[in-house]
Structure 1
Amino acid sequence: MRLLIARCQVDYAGRLTAHLPMATRLIMVKADGSVSIHADDRAYKPLNWMSAPCRLTVSPPPADVEAVVAAQESGLTQVWEVRNNDGDTLQIAIGEVFHDSAHELGFDPGLQKDGVEAHLQALLAENPATFGEGWCLVQREYLTPIGPVDLLFRDAEGAYVAVEVKRRGEIDGVEQLTRYLDLMNADPLLNPVRGVFAAQQIKPQARTLAGTRDIDCLLVDYNALRGLDNAEERLF
């Protein structure tokens, strides 16, 4: 992982356009090639990013006269261009550098689910009808280049559906599933793949974000799945 703290200007062009004016930020380049830009607030969420797979090209500042003058005035030292397979680009114009380091983190075993979450995943795998009639399990822990999808199903029409299971559904879980879906939909043997975010509780912000990503949300009754809560015996 490379960590660069520098003054930078960031421009994103693709399905949307976004501009970050010159300011001091943290730029993180991960081993898979993904690049993210962070401010010193907003918790873990980057200001902008490009997910893997993507390509990073480093160039000197522009060569034409007006651009050179502008680059000198702003102190630009280099320009990074990050491009993904869809042609989206993230251009980072870098000025003064305050810190630049590289770190080898080694293999990461990934998030270890707690007992309830792991059991919830197993119960959903054993009960595909929780999602709909005619669903069937393809595989648990379906591997992608950035980690395993909890569950991969086929729905009643035979289409693939990736399911991310959480005990408590928050924004980071939706982001995680989005990254999995991007990679899976790039595979012609799987495409199209839609997503379902399944959890015992889902925060309103996570539900809203999922809606913008065309990801369905499913509230799961853990006790009912365990056979401890029979809906027919309830008074209310």
Structure 2
Amino acid sequence: MPEVLKTGIEGLDSVLNGGIVKNAAVLVSGNPGTGKSIFGIQYLYKGVTEFDERGIYISFEENAEDIRQAAESVGFDKWGELVEDDDIKVYDKQVMLREGDFTSAIDKLLDDFTESKYDRLVLDSLTMFQLFFDDERENRTYLLKFTDILKQNGLTSLLINEQGAVFPETEIGLENFLTDGNIYFIQTPTDSGVNRYVWVAKMRKKNINTDIFPMEIGEGGITVHERAGGFSMMGREDSVF
């Protein structure tokens, strides 16, 4: 069995058969509002508070105060304290978009990658990250370089991706094939609001449960109900990638 990092999210680590493979780069996709950013925040917060694993949060869309408020809205009240102590390092849009090109932005990050020990990283979002590049070939080249840099520095990373389609199988991009794992967040409207689901479609080197599982977002963040899988999109319960 490969070494894994637990997400700290109730139910999800069971679905992942223990957690995310160490040093993997995992694509996290879904519509706006499905819980992707909360997942990233929770992954870093639990990493520090439960597993003594420090984290980096890179955001091209929010400032540091917005991120703190999002964390506190689901009960992660120590987020600000962890950021002040550098247990969680935040690069917000004011920092990242100040750089005019990919190389300058990455150079800014590399200082912390090499000088301090961090274990987890969240990039929010890959969609904005890709705006640095002029075409698909350049995008692919630099995405590969970036994920290699993360792995070389011992980081287990979530790359958040905004998706336009409601159902993930209708929108498969190049980034799905360049990452080590794919996790989808799905929401469907109801008369009283929305139902939320999570689907772990791929995790290299791991046996995973490929059913779609219901989830909730509330105080304490995301909870996945792993004993209430709706159905399998892969036609079987377990798959090896």
TM-score when normalising by structure 1? 0.22
Q: Flag the structure with higher helix content.
A: 2
Q: Choose between structure 1 and 2: higher strand proportion.
A: 1
The structure having more radius of gyration, on CA atoms, is 1
TM-score, L = length of structure 2: 0.21
Greater RCO (CA < 8 Å, at least 6 residues apart): 2
